[in-house]
A = this chain, B = another copy of it.
């Protein structure tokens, strides 16, 4: 593997890790709210969350690019408050990936929260656990399969995604060039040997990671009757 490939791998891992973290952070309260609200129009929001999925990634990336660019809504706003534009930066990649992978995180979490019901939380409250305490001691472990699915889908999808990333990131080595783009480039340049190598490596690495995650999960299985 070339130095460039290592750089791309590093960008990929940082991007996927950070995106997953942000997704879980943003997705959890949103999913919790969706799971428990009685708001009549929550289904509209649910539909909105899933919507980015139906656009081809490159096209979605294109629109995000327009929005993030100096003349776009978000970009213009950022510029007006003195921020730097997000397009072609690592931060921009993160924003794009978060946006695109949101449904993979929100939906499994929402289901897990719904299936859990309120009872365990009520019990925890009567046992003296504060809301934050309850979140970590009850919600997270009971909804663990949901969190796991959310994290795995969010992470894997970000690793593999490249349409949005390519569009927003501009494929700048060491900054926004991720492994998926590198592989794509190799394939495109007919460097199949190199592409096979990278793909194989990525697959092996991901497989090990997933094995570790699911293997650990096994240890904490909840027996249900």
Query: In the assembled complex, which residues on chain B have CB atoms less than 8 Å from the CB atom of A222?
Result: 114
Can you list, as one digit per residue, whether each of A186-225 has a CB less than 8 Å from chain B (1) or not (0)? 0100000001000100110011001101110110001011
> Is A117 located at the chain interface by the 8 A CB criterion?
yes
Knowing A184-B59, A214-B47, A217-B43 are in contact, say whether A108-B53 is a contact too (CB < 8 A): no
Could you tell me which A residues sit within 8 Å of B by CB distance?
Answer: 42-44, 46-48, 50-60, 62-63, 103-104, 107-108, 110-112, 114-119, 145-146, 149, 152-153, 156-157, 159-163, 180-181, 183-184, 187, 195, 199, 202-203, 206-207, 210-211, 213-215, 217-218, 222, 224-225
* Contact, CB under 8 Å: B54 / A152: no
* Contact, CB under 8 Å: A118 / B43: no
Please pick, from B44, B56, B156, the residue contacting A50 in the complex, using a CB distance under 8 A.
B156
Cβ contacts A to B, 13 pairs, < 8 Å: A43-B218, A44-B211, A46-B214, A47-B210, A50-B152, A50-B156, A53-B159, A54-B160, A107-B153, A111-B112, A111-B115, A115-B116, A118-B224
Q: How many copies of this chain sit in the oligomeric assembly?
A: 2
Query: In the assembled complex, which residues on chain B have CB atoms less than 8 Å from the CB atom of A145?
Result: 110-111, 114-115
A159 to chain B, nearest CB (A): 4
In the complex formed, the residue of B with least CB distance to A149 is B107
Query: In the assembled complex, which residues on chain B have CB atoms less than 8 Å from the CB atom of A42?
Result: 218
Knowing A43-B215, A160-B57, A180-B59 are in contact, say whether A111-B111 is a contact too (CB < 8 A): yes
Please pick, from B47, B146, B195, the residue contacting A111 in the complex, using a CB distance under 8 A.
B146
Knowing A184-B56, A195-B59 are in contact, say whether A210-B51 is a contact too (CB < 8 A): yes
Query: In the assembled complex, which residues on chain B have CB atoms less than 8 Å from the CB atom of A116?
Result: 115, 224
C-alpha spacing A203/B43, complex, angstroms? 16
* Contact, CB under 8 Å: A210 / B50: yes
C-alpha spacing A57/B161, complex, angstroms? 7
In the complex formed, the residue of B with least CB distance to A157 is B53
C-alpha spacing A184/B56, complex, angstroms? 7
